[in-house]
Structure 1
């Protein structure tokens, strides 16, 4: 008969630490000749949770590199948009902004398919094939001959580049237990936000000293290096796929008679596996989460606002420092470093605090962890964000030194990363087994905002100015952001308990 044991509450019912069943003894199939394949005890070296720290952090670093290089491409073209407009004769400010933000539009749709596919075919395979797709189309952007080609190629490149945003969080969930997950998420989640900072800095100098086409060719070269490293070092981490491979090895080791009379399946499979139905269910899962899960909708909307603000800043900084402070393209691009300082400083501080706060609250809760223990780290972010908006908006004038709006930009970066890291970890803790699908649903919201916010930004700032425009955004940040952690702290568990997918995790 199949053995079973209760999952440890210390892992927050983490379904990647399944009930322990000895799969090394094929003779122990039950009376229906069903052999359950599971990890061979809690210390099984094949379980990614038991890999060495070097292997775990190596995989985290490579996934973070994939997650970094794609957002670099999303924003690197921003300082070169004037060159593009001149070469292709673009007169509409909306079309000019779209050459940058259409890449992020693809971020909304790609994860809805790539996230669940990683739960069918494995994280590593989907991640690397998607990156090759991105590499090919990003290279094609450098050869675009008109606006239509450039926008189409950018969208197609974004589809492939979106994979790490959905799959990377799942890899972190595969490798680390909840008590260890905070620091890994802090490093991983910094990549998609630091990429839009590094991109415009490099793109500004390329646009000033060369042609806009090298913006795309240089990122293609860098991505090629990351792809080579990923092919060599990134191993599969998804437990159901690894156990399925183990089950296949056991099937092949059986003699023909025993193989015909024994059904070998993993602890994650229930009954006979209809692959077509399984694939269809996996592909529908992000849409089901998107439609039916209130916790995904709430977190997705909040992330949408924060992420939209980030891309709004990315596309408006050149106009602030080139038009108001009359800086050259290359020099104006250096102001993106202020955003990077805020992102990096807050991220590294949060990396050291997130797991400590979680462990402290878990101990006070009788040793039982909850995803809500990630929420206290959001609170400083909800304060930094409106302060940064107000400071940037009201000091962006030639009579005030440029360092003052840069301080505001740094505050926006700090607020963004604190919210981003805490929400991502909350989602992974809540939907561990289907973290990729849950993150894909959340990514849809935020990427739509990242696409849409830059399109209305020029009109808003032309009509209201930077002071009033950023004040409106700051008020919205206060109204939405400040109550969010408190409401989730009080009602989050109740909302999760009404969720079928979250209860499973």
Structure 2
């Protein structure tokens, strides 16, 4: 029996809860053999043609992740954020050791030397396109833990590389395996929180991939003074083993279709009933076709959804600039300001300060704007209410690029480029938080695939931009290089925010993937 047959002409009965009302909610989904359809979710116990639907027991069901206790939700968020934190840390922990790696492996060209750092992000671009759709079939936890285990192995293998070709290939595969959380983490937020409660959780999730690279660079700087470059890979893999083991204890499955299928299995065991079904049973009946559909979904979203295309390009530029900063930061302090590597690494604290300001202030301001606009909209929220903060944040990040570039160009006191860095990171992270929140609010159940589509272009930018950084700064100097990047940020960011604010609702209404619960 097909899903469409099940959801038509239902005669609702209440064998489990006699006093509850049938509850219907529209939610987008996909047929195994075709495109999106509208699916009706009914309360647990509804029957049709002798079959009994297993679903949530209305509001307050403790098995529904959105109705978990706050403590249980935050435990799941912090556990997932640990995985989100670990992989980007590995992307930059090698930055201070690039000269040593280049010397040992006979790397002469500056672009190839930077590729050892940024090739990790090319793996980040490819991995979510597979990992996120898999998580929408097999669940979040299984995919994250499996891929993280593979990441540990390949990242440790980088320490044994003896040629430039081998370290580049191993870094790519390690990035591929470590990328699972990029989309899955956002999907977990969608599983756990309703839109009106999601702001703080999105801020924490968005902070992890921004904070992790700078922590990696600081740790890498101190390791460089006491150990060989191989220990950067060994240290990050050992830390990831700790996170992997803690995940076995703290991380929980949050994906609703998988939880409902488990609930059906428990009820079938305890009652002996063989007529139970969930609205997601087609995932079991046609696994290969559903897998094919899910794997192609991020590409479909990227090819057909203007919202994804706009946000992907905007986020790509932000991410590319951030990685230009990471890639060149140590060189600025060692070459221009004459600092040792371990002291130069301490300047990453300015990035941490900017990240903290954005995570705290953006959360408070964004949530307040969302509540205020929702109240004016009759108490109904909308993804576009996440957009207003992007306008001043874009001005901040552009101003930060100007400040950083020209104070470095004039070799002003070391605090001045650090101030510019903090201003830039504050604006960039605020925009990233807003983009992630907008995507999660818009695409709901498909948010993992949507974030994977956005992260693909973003990570390609993170891979390519740093390779041009040495040539850009040597040709233009810090001042004009920072100015050009700042002007481009204004030209990309302001129109993107205005366009989504004005046309977002129309674009969502035309999208078969957008959540209809907003």
Using the size of structure 2 for normalisation, the TM-score is 0.91
1:5 aligned to 2:29?
A: no
Distance verdict in 2 for CA 1:50–1:271, change over 3 Å: closer
Could you say which residue in structure 1 is the equivalent of 2:246? 229
Which of 197, 200, 203 is the equivalent residue of 2:217?
Answer: 200
Shift of 1:236: 0.5
The residue matched to 1:45 in structure 2 has which SS?
coil
Could you say which residue in structure 1 is the equivalent of 2:496? 484
In 2: Cα distance, 1:331 partner to 1:349 partner: 29
In 1: Cα distance, 2:171 partner to 2:284 partner: 42
1:242 aligned to 2:259?
A: yes
Contact 1:171/1:237 (8 A) holds in 2: yes
Could you say which residue in structure 1 is the equivalent of 2:6? none
In 1: Cα distance, 2:125 partner to 2:291 partner: 21
1:276-327 residue CA offsets vs partner (Å, 9 max, x unmatched): 1111111111111111111101100000000000001000111211111111
Which of 44, 54, 75 is the equivalent residue of 1:22?
Answer: 44
1:163 aligned to 2:163?
A: no
Structural mapping, 1:169-208, within 5 Å:
169-208=186-225
Shift of 1:504: 5.2
The residue matched to 2:285 in structure 1 has which SS?
coil
Could you say which residue in structure 1 is the equivalent of 2:101? 84
Which of 271, 279, 286 is the equivalent residue of 1:267?
Answer: 279
Shift of 1:35: 2.2
In 2: Cα distance, 1:174 partner to 1:485 partner: 26
Shift of 1:353: 2.4
Which of 308, 311, 336 is the equivalent residue of 2:323?
Answer: 311
Shift of 1:133: 0.9
Contact 2:91/2:121 (8 A) holds in 1: yes
Contact 1:172/1:181 (8 A) holds in 2: yes
Contact 1:325/1:398 (8 A) holds in 2: no
In 1: Cα distance, 2:11 partner to 2:104 partner: 68
In 1: Cα distance, 2:411 partner to 2:315 partner: 35
Structure 2: segments with no counterpart, 5+ residues: 1-9, 13-21, 28-36
Distance verdict in 2 for CA 1:18–1:369, change over 3 Å: farther
Could you say which residue in structure 2 is the equivalent of 1:352? 364
Could you say which residue in structure 2 is the equivalent of 1:141? 158
Could you say which residue in structure 2 is the equivalent of 1:12? none
Structural mapping, 1:405-424, within 5 Å:
405-424=417-436
Distance verdict in 2 for CA 1:68–1:201, change over 3 Å: same
Contact 1:20/1:41 (8 A) holds in 2: no
Contact 2:132/2:180 (8 A) holds in 1: yes
In 2: Cα distance, 1:493 partner to 1:150 partner: 46
RMSD: 1.9
Distance verdict in 2 for CA 1:371–1:87, change over 3 Å: same
Could you say which residue in structure 2 is the equivalent of 1:109? 126
1:34 aligned to 2:56?
A: no
Could you say which residue in structure 2 is the equivalent of 1:366? 378
In 2: Cα distance, 1:399 partner to 1:296 partner: 40
